[in-house]
Every structure is written in structure tokens, then in C-alpha cells.
């Protein structure tokens, strides 16, 4: 099965890194095929950005996600822009304090988490993307927790590893409670 994922938000939230970590977790640690592409606005911090990841059990022949099966939205603008492009039965993951969705299609499943608040409780607001990765792993089950943890360790500076693993754990536990 092939799954298209769109990570979206604004520059500075770690959207691109989240896509890279999920792709790495799937391809290197869960032995699946994955491809990652990204779009960054003309201004780095504060502008719209998105990353697309395709995860599959077979080789991926085309790296573009026209209609994501999973949408992660970390900003209001991103939610409004990409929700209409998602499949009718998409899984939608949102940062609940920053995104209020309108026009959700009846078959969509929406899961919300206060990722920024959870990251702030850890003393690292910038780790909200890693909270979302843990949440993504628990809700979608597309990547394993162990793969996500290994990919986070590979992707963040060593001096931030402990807080990022704590952020991953927070998101994962929050997601497990929602889907159990």
C-alpha cells in the first residue's frame, strides 16, 4: 500500500525536518520505500512551507503527492490551503491551538494535539515538530515508535537529543490515548 502525506505549516516550525524524519524512519528503520519532497516560500521563517512524503511497500515511481491520504497542519493558513486537496477519507493531524478547520469532508478523521503547549512544557517550543512526529506515529501507525526514535536521534543536534526524545514520547503517548 502506498500512502501520500503532506506536512504543512510555516517556516520555523520544523515542517521540512518532520517530513525528513518520517521518511528516514520509514525507509531506513522500518525497511519501507519512502520519498521526500519539500516546498519553501521565498522568506525562510514565517512563510508557508510544506513537505510531502510517500511511504510504500513497493518502489515509488512518482514523487509527487497530489491528494494526500494524511495531512499534518501546523498553521491556520496551511490547514485552509491543503485540506481541500486531501482525499475524502484522509487522516488529518492538527496543532489544536493554531488550526481551526472548516469544511472537513464527512469521511475525514481529524486528530488534534496541543503540540506547542506540550513542547513548551519541556522547555523547548521548537520541538513541536517532534511532538507531532510522535503523534503521527501513534495515530497512523505508518512508522514504528522505535523507527521514529532512531530517526529523531539521527536528525537532531546531539545536545538537543534528550529534549527531542522527550517531545517524541509526549506526542506518541498523547496519540496512543486518542486512538485506544
Q: Could you give the 3-state DSSP secondary structure of residue 135?
A: helix
Band of the pLDDT at 54, cuts 50, 70, 90? very high
What average pLDDT does this structure show over 6-11? Answer: 92
Cα–Cα distance between 43 and 40 in angstroms, integer? 8
d(CA 23, CA 53): 6
Mean pLDDT of 71-86: 95
The residue whose grid cell reads 520555523 is 12
Give the phi and the psi of residue 168 in degrees, each rounded to 5.
Answer: -60, -45
Please tell me the CATH code under which domain 2-179 is placed.
3.40.920.10
Mean residue pLDDT of the chain comes to 94
Task: Flag whether pLDDT at 3 surpasses 70.
Answer: yes
Nearest partner of 119 among 100, 101, 135, 138, judged by Cα: 135
- What's the pTM? 0.95
Amino acid at each position: 500500500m502506498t500512502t501520500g502525506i503532506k506536512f504543512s505549516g510555516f517556516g520555523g516550525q520544523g515542517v521540512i525536518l518532520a517530513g525528513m524524519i518520517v521518511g528516514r524512519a520509514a525507509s531506513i528503520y522500518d525497511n519501507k520505500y519512502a520519498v521526500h519532497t519539500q516546498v519553501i516560500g521565498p522568506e525562510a521563517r514565517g512563510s508557508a512551507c510544506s513537505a510531502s512524503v510517500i511511504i510504500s511497500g513497493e518502489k515509488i515511481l512518482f514523487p509527487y503527492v497530489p491528494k494526500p491520504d494524511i495531512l499534518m497542519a501546523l498553521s491556520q493558513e496551511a490547514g485552509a490551503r491543503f485540506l481541500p486537496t486531501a482525499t475524502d477519507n484522509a487522516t488529518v493531524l492538527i496543532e489544536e491551538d493554531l488550526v481551526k478547520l472548516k469544511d472537513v469532508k464527512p469521511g475525514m478523521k481529524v486528530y488534534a494535539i496541543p503540540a506547542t503547549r506540550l513542547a513548551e512544557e519541556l522547555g523547548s517550543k521548537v520541538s513541536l515538530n517532534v511532538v507531532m512526529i510522535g503523534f503521527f506515529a501513534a495515530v497512523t501507525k505508518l512508522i514504528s515508535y522505535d523507527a521514529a526514535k532512531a530517526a529523531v536521534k539521527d536528525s537532531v543536534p546531539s545536545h538537543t537529543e534528550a529534549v527531542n526524545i522527550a517531545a517524541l514520547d509526549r506526542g506518541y503517548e498523547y496519540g496512543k490515548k486518542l486512538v485506544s
